[in-house]
Structure 1
Amino acid sequence: MSVRGNQTRLFFDRFPHAMWIFDRRTQAILGVNQAAVALYGYSREEFLGRTLNDLYTEEERPALLHDLSTLYGEPDGWAPSPRTCRRLRRKDGTILDVEVIWTPFLDRGREEILAVFQDVTQQRRTEERLRFQEAIVSQVHDAIFAIDNRRRIIYWNRAAERQYGLPAKEALGRPLPDIVSCRWLLPENERAVIQSLSEVGAWHGHETHRRRDGEPIRVESSVTLLRDDCGDRIGLLAVVRDVTERARSEEKLRDSQRQLLEAEKLGHIGAWEWDVATGAQIWSDELYRIFGIEPGRIPATFEGFMSLVGTEDRPAVRASVENALRDHQPFSREFTIRRPGGVIRTVLACGEVLVDGSRRPVRLVGATLDITDRKRAEAERARFLENERSARGAAEAAAAQLEVLSRRLVELQEAERRSLARELHDEMGQLLTGLRLLLTTDRRGVPGRTRERRTGDTRGKMMSIISELMKRIRTLSMDLRPAMLDDLGLLPALRWHFKRYGDQTGVRVKFVQAGLEGRLEPALEIATFRIVQEALTNVARHAGVAAASVDLQRDDDRLRIRIEDRGPGFDVESALRSPSSGLAGMRERARLMGGSLSIESQPGGGGTRLTAELPLGPASGPLPRK
């Protein structure tokens, strides 16, 4: 192409972008402008000796052929090609990124192409940096968005899309308050944000935002003021982190700490930690309270702790700690402490040694539990169990004694029945038989005077038999239960019994009493009578003496019974085990009345003394006054 006209040449030469004219068929460069010389580093003469193919990198040469092939066609249909991006090599070997526009034309019948190359290397590098930055920002888990001075959103990253549930295409250009609803944790926070942005151009803090679906989220925000090159404010950049889960975890941690403090307080458990290297210790508030000291009042040290340990327990406690540090083994020990006021408490300390990678102890952590109440409860339980064992033994002994007494009662009942049957059969039966014979004797053949005399004799015999029957029935009744005891009381009944006893056994009773002129409680009277009766029966059976003494003394609250004889004596333990002696029955009568009964006797002589003490019941009359 021949460039004609000064104006056309001047336009071509001074065009700001590199321009070439080359032959379409040979790709030989026919002309270049000054911008092409400056951009590629070749002189005009060097350009004119080259082809367009020399300027392309090897990787881009196929693309050159493709671009030129798209320009083929009828000359009347030729038109400028679309912009394409290509990479060309400068004279010094550096690579340029360019945008190319091809314009085919005819010059005196020759097909030529005007190529305009615009250097976009810096633009491409800037775009690459922006894309790289965008890729980085898109991978950030924190929401990042920017607003202009009209508070319209001009940037909205992917994390913001996820965090607020709104895609960037819907967020961009919209006012921020339409997207992000903010609730300040404290009313004064909003004023603090405005003041901080005004003074230092940034703010950092916590607030509550609301997602698109209405769900509130706790966030940690960092807001920075954006300015242009002239220092004028153009907007705000915010980096917002969703800390909802962290806030919940922190709240749970605070709750756990509160619960731990409450548990320590309720359970009297104090926690402690000891830095072995520095010797520094940390005591919980409850540990101070266990020691009876106001929290923080004294430094937490090992020696301070040892000063609170009971004197007798200090060597063992110190040895436990030293052994744990040496052997790296947990330890547990009970010991006493003395509070500042002198109060003694019992505690249980448990600890564990923490070691580093070299197996050197670095910390000792543990807890101390106040077990004073537990130790007292254990002691009380032990006493209760001992009492229970004693009571069980007593109950078993009582059960055994009750069994013996039950057998004795059955034996006594059978003996009384046998005696009653024998009395009725042998004595009263014979008397009644004789009476029946007298009543059925036939005297019809006997003369009158003789019949009258015999009838009188018969009547006398019948009266005698009836009198003997009445006497025996009365005696039998008195043996079963003296009516005199119910009607007249204990003292007359005893005196009657002593006389009858002497008449029957030949053993004289020396009786001494004091305070029995009045009536006693019925149960006490019958118990006293039976004890005296059974004791004198034993004297008659076993003592072999002509006399015995009975002494009854009543005072304000009890009745004392003492029965003695000068007989040969006996083994008391053996007699108590014998069901026929009656001693166990007397002792049981005394026990049932809330009293006691003791027996003093030895085989071989010395006699026997039986002593019983029975409490007076509320139904007993007052003690007679002298």
Structure 2
Amino acid sequence: MAKAAAPVPRPEVLPDEGSGPPLRGQAHILERIARGAPLAEVLDAIVALIESAAPGMLCSILLLDREGRRLRHGAAPSLPTTYNEAVDGLEIGPHAGSCGTAAFRRQPVVVRDVQADPLWENYRALARPHGLRACWSTPIISATGQVLGTFAMYYREPRTPTTAEHQLITSATDLAGIAIERRQAEEALRESEERFSKAFHANPAPLSISRLADGRFLDVNTAFLRLTGYEREEVIGRTSVELRLIGTAEREDLVDRLRRTGVVPELEFVVRHRDGGSRDVVVSLVSSDLGGDACILSIFQDVTHRKQADEALRTRERQLLLAQQIARMGSWEWDLRTGTVTWSDELCRIFGIEPSAVRPSYEGSLDLVHVDDRSYVRDIIDRAAADGQPFLFDFRACRPDGAVRILHCRGEVTCDAAGHPVRMFGTDQDVTELRLADEQLRLSQQKLRNLTAYHLEVREEERARIAREIHDVLGQTLTALKLDVSSLREMVARREPSADGRLQEIAGLLDTAIKDVRRLASELRPVVLDQLGLPAAVEWLAGDFQRRTGIDCRVRSHLPDTTLPADVSTGLFRILQEALTNVARHSGASRVEVTLQQASRIVYLEVTDNGKGLPEAAHAGQGSLGILGMRERALLLGGFIELKGETGKGTKLTAWVPLK
């Protein structure tokens, strides 16, 4: 809360209004300012000086705060304390009384009658109890045009200022401006020194200040003490040579260079630590005048760890080079902004080029790509350079000697802060031998599948042959035998009636044998599959499955009225056989739905049950030879099998087989 300052003795001045500002009083105030008297004391003296020149006048000085929004009490010894407290913190504005408006407008404001002027509408109640009627306020402006505060004159009767009073106002604002600016300059200097001291001592970089003439340390920061291992008391007043931080010759060379140029930037040398060790540093020296002494500001950078890291990096680079040679892998980098491309030595060797004989470029790199792969590679790289996405692909490279190598390329893109791609880097690995081995393995697997297919084909042919033999030969024989027995029964009946019962038993056995033969023939290869096609065979198999197991089995067929290739019909029929066998053995289902349909040139077989579902291993095709067999059958036809199921929610098997 602002309070009135203690009374200040009023200096003697000439009371004549026409004689101009009171010169003797001004000189006295300027002396106080020069001596560095407190601002409050100086402002009180200014107010006392002006009030002594104009009896009946009450003066006030308000100071604008740092934010430039509010006026704070500066000096008003003759105004009531309650009034000073009330206006302390007044916010400036276009209708903020005389002082707040003057500071806002940056112009003098003369209010003849406080009780009548609209500028005082919100403040009349403050002035009325104290009998304040007139108030003239002038902004105090600095030499740089900054509003520092206001100087106000109050009277207890309505009136306007005279010429002499205008002169007093001018003198008062000039004196107050000098005092306030002096105080602000001192505060700025003090704050600057404090900031420098804080920055100096808190700076993570080692810093020191020493005299240029004799090299004795005047100040050092904590980081410098850590760098050298000394205590502050051991350093101040001594030289770097006395502390054995550097040698005499080194210091003389530094001082000589500093005298000639004023600055010594980033000089590398070794500083000796107190414990006998050494640190690699980079030091910059700047000559400066501090308190009349020529001084040296030394800025150190401890690069010991950086040098160690550089050496470690060189070691890793050597190791990386060796690893690239072993793995037949080379690295590359492309600056998308400048177009600069760099290759590792190993990448040059992979392309069959001497590292010293190549200047890599994007287009030059594409020239080494096999002509049939070039467009494909360019599309991938250009797309990555545009969208910043990582990539990997294989391509063929043509060496200058005509050899063709298969390379596996992997790359990534880095972007700037705005998300624009700026750099691409990656590796090319020579995988020629690996791909050849993969191809040999693929051919071996294909041969194995062909052999398996051949075995399955032979087995199906053998089953069909056996079925024909049983049906055409054994079946006919048994039928003929039945006819013969029937004829024999008629003949015997005429001679001995008791033989009829025996012959009936033989006929019954023959009927059973014929049924068994037909059943076995159907199980080996149902006749309906060859005669009526896959849909009818599926209906027969579903009905037989339902009769044998008691599990409700329904079929929905949407196949067009076309004959499927024999291998497709057989393969899907065998897959369904195995699927139904698995349902009966493992699912615990009460209902099965079989769906056949064709879309475009693909035939779909779906088998869905409401059983207990399949474990995860079955999903992956593990743990069941039946499932593996179904997958292999579908693969031989160019299709595949998908299993979906959750524990307790049944299983769905889908087979896709293309029509060739």
Q: TM-score, normalising length from structure 2? A: 0.38
Q: TM-score, normalising length from structure 1? A: 0.39
